Structure 1
Amino acid sequence: MYDDGFPVYSVLHGPIEPVSLGDRAPVAEIRHNRFIRSANGKRTVYRTADGRGLVYRTRLSPGLASIVVLQPAEVRRAEQPDTWLTWRFLDDGVHGAWRLVLIGPDDVVQWVFGREMGIARSAGSDDDGDAPEWLAKGLKADSAYCITVIHDVDPDEALRRFGALDMEISTATWMQLRRRADFEDLDSEGMVVAAFALGPHTLLVEDGGHEAVDRPDLSRGTFAVSSFSSAEDAHRFLVSEDGEVLASFTYRLASLAEGADPTVLTEPLAEMGIGDIDEFDDDDDSLLDDVELLCQVAGVSPEIGDVTGPARGAILRRPDVRRRRFAYSA
């Protein structure tokens, strides 16, 4: 029996305990119940159930992970003498990141996962799809994102509302912030948040988080709209005003919106050509463009230049940790 790719029980031998080989090992030793895992536990490599390939799993956030399989032919090519599979932080001058690598004698990198060996990356990694340019190319977040527009607050105030202390806020581009987070190799309690000025309003962007869709308090004294989408297409949408939920729905089903005033969505949907949201949601071929809806409700039209320049940002601890801190201070 296998659980999430690991053998856990044998009818002949009973329970099977996974065995960690640390954060590096020869490829040939990663088999059966043996695996390697990065020091912070975010990345794991283990054998496929048939023993021929390797599974490379990266935990993105609680309950969300990226899984890519190294095919048998590529695994065989990596089974070279005097080599080890491990991770290294590589800086390509654009966006440094921790990469899965094969190292040889004298600690020399032999190949990098997804490069020299031609290993296919996760589906959609280079496809911007139908996402607007500012989201797909500017923020590199075409399929997984959490974005929020808060009216009439500046970026620093938006970050303070989100939980950042003044000493945690700095100026950097989105790519620089993510690059710093990659270099620091944040654990599951870390998250990156950036705030971009859109005229008098602020666009708040979370990397690896989805706190804003649970935070109507971000709109205290004003108006806010948030949309979250995961790589697995889980989705949530929130419209709030002065700390009160006006409309909230999941899975892009705006017809099921709940809150104090779901009709706040009616006119923006009509602007998108959706006059009957019930009929739209009942059509299996229809898929609500939540990013366009967010822009319509918030009355903004971001462009790629709005999100590629310097922003105010912070690297924070995840919400449950910060909320304990707020409770103590209160």
Structure 2
Amino acid sequence: MEFTESDVSWLAHGWDLGDAWCLTFVRGLDPAEALGRLGAPEESIRPLSYRELNEEGLFPFTVLAGRLEGWAVLIERNGSEAMKADVTEALSVGAELVSVMRLDYANDWFVYALDGDRVTSFDPRKPAWRYGSDPDRLLDAMREVGVDPTYLPGEQIGTRPPTMSEALLLAAQLTGVALSQEVLNGPLLGGDVGTRLSGS
């Protein structure tokens, strides 16, 4: 399936998830298993809607999970547990992971991991600085969605800087799925990661 900016603009430029969120797509896990690997005890996992998450003020200690074709999607509002190195490793063991974080007041981030290995990661606004075991793995895919892998702010005069739209399009291209408002507002699972966040 081919995706365009119209498929991701509601997230890239909207406020449905606020100004700080993390979306993580994991192929090879079901939503409950993904929540478990994120640190949610089995007994805490239950049906939960995004509306209930907001109305009850459960974020960032509760993470939502749904299914998009062969992928589990984890939805963190005001959280980014999946971006932590040990969590990325745990989530991607025996699986494939693509994660996008929006953090308007700091750095956005993009991660691609495979079978416990963080293959490449970078700030979508500074794609020339990439990290991981194979930081150049996604160069062709980046170019296809309009990201110049050599871009650094202030160094390419006249070049349009990458945006969150391109980061989300890259995730969609790699996974073949994209989070929609219908999925966000539909039935999901919620899991409590508060114990992990509190460090107890």
TM range (shorter): 0.7 to 0.9
Confirm whether residue 242 of structure 1 aligns to residue 140 of structure 2.
Answer: no
Displacement, 1:299? 2.8
Q: 2:66 aligns with which of 177, 180, 196?
A: 196
Q: Percent identity?
A: 25
The structure in which a higher percent of residues are helix is 2
Displacement, 1:262? 1.8
Aligned partner of 2:100 in structure 1 is: 227
Amino acid at match of 2:172: C
- Distance in 2 (CA, whole Å) between partners of 1:229 and 1:146 is 6
Q: 2:75 aligns with which of 167, 188, 205?
A: 205
**Residues 46-195 of structure 1 correspond to what in structure 2 (within 5 A)?**
132-133=9-10, 140-141=16-17, 143-181=19-57, 191-195=61-65
Displacement, 1:134? 5.8
Give the 3-state SS of the residue equivalent to 1:255 in structure 2.
coil
Give the 3-state SS of the residue equivalent to 1:277 in structure 2.
coil
Structure 1: runs of 5+ lacking an equivalent: 1-129, 325-330
Confirm whether residue 305 of structure 1 aligns to residue 182 of structure 2.
Answer: yes
Structure 2: runs of 5+ lacking an equivalent: 1-6
Aligned partner of 2:130 in structure 1 is: 257
Displacement, 1:271? 1.8
- Distance in 1 (CA, whole Å) between partners of 2:123 and 2:195 is 22
Conserved 8 A contact 1:255-1:278: yes
Displacement, 1:181? 2.5
Amino acid at match of 1:216: T
Give the 3-state SS of the residue equivalent to 1:232 in structure 2.
coil
Give the 3-state SS of the residue equivalent to 2:150 in structure 1.
helix
Conserved 8 A contact 2:126-2:151: no
- Distance in 1 (CA, whole Å) between partners of 2:170 and 2:130 is 13
Amino acid at match of 2:45: I
Displacement, 1:239? 1.1
Conserved 8 A contact 1:227-1:290: yes
- Distance in 1 (CA, whole Å) between partners of 2:119 and 2:167 is 16
Conserved 8 A contact 1:216-1:241: no
Confirm whether residue 319 of structure 1 aligns to residue 191 of structure 2.
Answer: no
